[in-house]
A = this chain, B = another copy of it.
């Protein structure tokens, strides 16, 4: 039984809290969140004790921390946890600033504690099966990857203003998936962003609609399309083309019910958003990390993956401005 602490009782923190509470091999001991109400809610549902950061860091029985707090606190918490010798599961991004990211990762490396970055989609059963079949050579060498990733609706202006922008908050997952599937690191990246959905994105210098092309050294290609709006719900699909065929993985629907009526045949639209769509992957990523800590194995998704995805975000921001293929330097 591993004693763990969760930082952050917001939306994603609640998802982790529920999964930690159900996990047979951990005990969720502490919840830390400056928002007392949010912390209380998690505490009530899971039995976790509300604590402050110092208490947790000083408590040597706490072997793991899950950092799902505000982005700006990630690096500090990770470094404190590293200093205390605790295993760290950290939501992406590590930090919006690359230098600070590197500083944090250096501290983690020095402390030699297990670290996993929260790229949950790597643990989605369908994407994972796709990757495994790719790795088994089912379609031969990869040639093109096409990633569709669309949120159901725009963020509010308030939420948006507090974040790192669409590329760093949303596309970062797709960049990680591109790296995960291309089988080679991207060396060039092209991005273009538009303002077609919600004017407050443009007002904040951000994009609500974007397309990307990535290219590896051998010439493999990846396209990503993003939008902050999809009337039919969260749209998360992957298509990989190889020498011997195509592997695809698609959306998940709540039910299999199909209605044949006088106008059309209709079926469920996909799940509304990430909490429902990726329910399985959130549970699986946590289980993976716990197992890694127990067995001493290295997590599949490392700090370096978090850092590289951030570098792709930077290249994308540059390309969207320059209108040209930007070189990626990890």
Contacts and interface: CB of A to CB of B under 8 A. Distances in A.
Given A220-B196, A223-B211, A260 B269 contact: yes
A138 interface: yes
A266 B231 CA distance: 14
A218 interface: yes
Contact of A245 (B130, B250, B256, B262): B262
A144 interface: yes
Interface string A154-188: 00000000000000000000000000000000001
Nearest to A239: B148
Contacts of A247: 257-260
A200 interface: no
A221 B194 CA distance: 8
A25 interface: no
B213 A231 contact: no
Contact of A244 (B223, B249, B250, B262): B262
B245 A232 contact: yes
A256 B251 contact: yes
Contacts of A235: 246, 260
A133 B266 CA distance: 13
Given A192-B215, A213-B213, A261 B232 contact: yes
Contacts of A231: 139, 243-246, 260-262
Contacts of A100: none
A41 to B, nearest CB: 14
A132 to B, nearest CB: 9
B255 A144 contact: no
A176 to B, nearest CB: 19
A40 interface: no
A259 B269 CA distance: 10
A195 interface: yes
B133 A257 contact: yes
Contact of A258 (B146, B220, B248, B258): B248
Contact of A232 (B190, B210, B260): B260
A210 B220 CA distance: 9
A192 B256 CA distance: 30
A259 B230 contact: no
A250 B256 CA distance: 6
A1 interface: no
B221 A209 contact: yes
A260 B243 contact: no
For the complex of A and B, the 8 pairs showing the least CB-CB separation, nearest first, are A194-B219, A324-B324, A232-B260, A323-B325, A266-B266, A264-B266, A126-B255, A245-B261
Given A244-B262, A249-B255, 4 more contacts: A245-B262, A247-B259, A248-B256, A251-B256
24 contacts: A138-B259, A139-B261, A143-B194, A143-B197, A143-B209, A144-B211, A150-B241, A188-B192, A190-B192, A194-B221, A211-B213, A223-B223, A230-B246, A231-B261, A232-B246, A232-B262, A235-B246, A247-B260, A250-B256, A252-B256, A262-B269, A264-B266, A264-B269, A323-B324
